[in-house]
Amino acid sequence: MSVVLLVVGVVIGVAYIYRHIVVKGKKCTSKAKLHGKTVIVTGSNTGIGKTTAIDLARRGARVILACRSKQRGEAALEEIRRESGSNQVVFMQLDLGSLKSIRTFAESFLKSEPRLDILINNAGIYMQGQTEDGFGLMFGVNHLGHFLLTNLLLDRLKECAPSRIVNVSSMAHNFGKIDFNCLNSHKALGLGTSFIRLLQIYCDSKLCNVLFNHELGKRLRGTQVTCYTLHPGAISSELGRNTGLFLQIVLKPITTFFFKNTVQGCQTTLHCALQEGIEPLSGRYFSNCTVRDLFAKARDDAAAKKLWEITAVWIYVLVFYGLFKGSRCLSPARLKGKTVVVTGSNTGIGKSTALELAKRGARVILACRNKEKAEAAARTHYCFVLQESGNPQVVFMQLDLASLKSVHRFAETFLKTEPRLDILINNAGVLSPGCTEDGFGLAFGVNHLGHFLLTNLLLDRLRRCGPSRVITVSALLHRFGSIDFQLLAPQTDAAPPQSAWSSLQAYCNSKLCNVLFTRELANRLEGTDVTCYTLHPGVIYTELCRNLSQWLQLLMMPLAKLFFLDPSGGCQTTLYCALQEGIEPLSGRYFSNCALQQVGANGRDDGLAKKLWEVSERLT
Residue 468 burial class via C-beta count within 10 angstroms: exposed 0-12, middle 13-18, buried 19 and up: buried
Give the ranges where 220-337 is alpha helix by DSSP (H): 245-258, 262-265, 267-274, 301-325
Which string of DSSP letters, residue by residue, matches 552-615? HHHHHHHHHHHHSBPHHHHTHHHHHHHH-TT-GGGTT-EEETTEEEPPPGGGG-HHHHHHHHHH
The residue among 537, 505, 507, 531 whose CA lies nearest residue 519 is 531
Residues 6+ apart with CB under 8 A from 45: 65, 67, 69, 72, 73, 75, 76
Query: Do 458 and 415 touch, CB atoms closer than 8 A?
Result: yes
Q: How far apart are CA 101 and CA 105, in angstroms?
A: 6
Q: For residues 22-46, b (16+ Cβ closer than 10 Å) or e, as one string?
A: ebbbeebebeeebeebbbbbbbbbb
Q: How far apart are CA 134 and CA 186, in angstroms?
A: 9
Catalytic annotation, residues = 507
The three-state DSSP-derived secondary structure of 18-44 is HHHHHHCCCCCCCCCCCCCCEEEEECC
CB atoms within 10 A of CB 555: 12
